[in-house]
Copies of this chain bind each other. A is one copy, B any other.
């Protein structure tokens, strides 16, 4: 009998409904830039992050006195403290704070996955530490890519492919879905130079237009982070233990 657990890749939040029932761990990925920013925030001592799907909810929290980040289409929404640039989360004033975040794709994906048994945040930044930790869990794992406005995107898929490749290589995991096979192939062709590989990707070009090249370089350089953010009761915290 094959006792291996499954690790699969879901390309967009829209397809999550075809996957959701079988996985005890869902890894939400939004490399450019929400989940990269979230990992960076925890690296820099943020206490917790409350992800909210809508700008309206974000405003409600702002009224209550929270520091609130809000991004849409790559830009900071007017009236908010910051967007989803990882560099915004390296600031001292955020240390030990509980902050709120709403982004175009990433927080929507977190919202869609919120009822999964365990929701974890993944990015290229915490690829290694996260993969190692996932390998120790005896659970079925789904990597949920946030995509770009409900469409497939390359950078999230490559990150998911990297997690999958690591887990399959442990011999304790298997995968079945064509999306997983494709993600693995794409990761293998990208891994030696993610920044170069993604030079033609649509979102990268979009961010480049917005003069966000530094963000791109940071988000697409793997393994600078040691944080594994996990969703508990609607709030992202740094992983302590898992059910």
Partner of A15, one of B151, B177, B203: B151
- In the bound complex, do residue A178 and residue B153 qualify as a contact, i.e. CB atoms below 8 Å apart? yes
Measured CB to CB, the nearest residue on chain B to A201 is B178
Rounded to whole angstroms, the CA-CA distance of A154 and B189 in the bound complex is 16
Interface residues of A in 1-52 (CB under 8 A from B): 11-12, 14-15, 18
Asked if A200 is at the interface of the complex by the 8 Å CB criterion, the answer is yes
- In the bound complex, do residue B201 and residue A150 qualify as a contact, i.e. CB atoms below 8 Å apart? no
A152: chain B residues within 8 A (beta carbon): 11, 15, 177-179, 182
Asked if A202 is at the interface of the complex by the 8 Å CB criterion, the answer is yes
Asked if A176 is at the interface of the complex by the 8 Å CB criterion, the answer is yes
Interface residues of A in 190-230 (CB under 8 A from B): 200-203
Oligomer copy total: 2
Given A18-B149, A150-B18, A185-B181 contact (CB < 8 Å): no
Measured CB to CB, the nearest residue on chain B to A153 is B178
Q: What 1/0 flags go to A72-100 for Cβ under 8 Å of B?
A: 00000000000000000000000000000
Rounded to whole angstroms, the CA-CA distance of A176 and B153 in the bound complex is 11
Measured CB to CB, the nearest residue on chain B to A157 is B182
Asked if A148 is at the interface of the complex by the 8 Å CB criterion, the answer is yes
A182: chain B residues within 8 A (beta carbon): 152, 154, 157, 182, 186
Rounded to whole angstroms, the CA-CA distance of A21 and B13 in the bound complex is 22
Nearest 4 A/B pairs, CB to CB: A154-B178, A152-B179, A153-B178, A178-B202
